[in-house]
Amino acid sequence: MTSARKFASKAVLVVAAATLLLPAMTACSMEPKVIRSYTQAAGVNASNTTVKLRNVALVAQDGQARLTGLAVSSVDDEITGVTGRALKPDDADGSELSPSTTRVPLTANKGLNLTDPGVQVSSPDLTDGLLAAITISFSHSDPITLDVPVIAATRPDFTPAAPTPSTPANS
C-alpha cells in the first residue's frame, strides 16, 4: 500500500508541475506577431524637433483633397504651407499640388485635428490608393516632408473629411 501512495503522490506532483510550467513552455514556441512597429491607421506619422504629425492622409474627391490627421506642437506655431506632388503608381512624380487654405495656428501642447481647418490641395493625379509627397511648412519649426496615402472620400470612414469644392487660392 505504501508504494501505491508514493506513486499517487508523485503523480500529483508531476501534474502540478506540468500545470505550472505549461504557460511558460507554450510562450517559448510562439513567434512575435509584430516584427516592426507601424501605425495602426490609414495615415502616416512624422515629426521634427517641435511638431508631431500623426495619422496624416489626404482624403480626395474629384482632384481635390483635404489634409487629415493630428498635429501637436511643443511651441506656439503656425502651418504656413502645404506643397508637394501627387505620385504615380510607379512612384514617379505626378502633377504639382495646388494649395488652397494654408495658414493654421498651432497652440503649444494642444492637439489639432487637421481636418477642422480645411487645409486642401488639388491635383488631377490624386488617386485613391496612391501616395502624395508633401511638405508641411511652419512659422517657427523646420518643415516636415512625408509621403501620405491618398484615400477616397467615398469610403464611409472618410466621408466626413471629404474636401469642399473650391478653386485654389494663395493664402
Task: Quote helix, strand, coil % in the chain, to nearest 5.
Answer: 20, 40, 40
Give the pTM: 0.73
Check whether 170 has a pLDDT greater than 50.
no
pLDDT at 23 over 50: yes
pLDDT band at 171 (very low <50, low <70, confident <90, very high): very low
Q: Say how many residues make up the chain.
A: 171
Per-residue model confidence (pLDDT) at position 169 = 45
Name the grid cell of 61.
474627391
Q: Which position has the grid cell 488639388?
A: 122
- Inter-CA distances, 97 with 15, 29, 140, Å: 68, 50, 23
What's residue 138's pLDDT? 95
The domain ranges of the chain are 1-30, 44-161
Do 54 and 69 touch, CB atoms closer than 8 A? Answer: yes
Cα–Cα dist 61/155, whole Å: 11
Backbone dihedral angles phi then psi of residue 72, each to the nearest 5 degrees: -135, 130
The tens digit of pLDDT for each residue in 51-100 reads 999 999 999 999 999 999 999 999 999 999 999 999 999 999 999 999 87
In angstroms, the Cα distances linking 153 to 23, 39, 44, 137, 164 are 46, 21, 17, 25, 11
Instruction: Specify the fold of 44-161.
Output: Immunoglobulin-like (2.60.40)
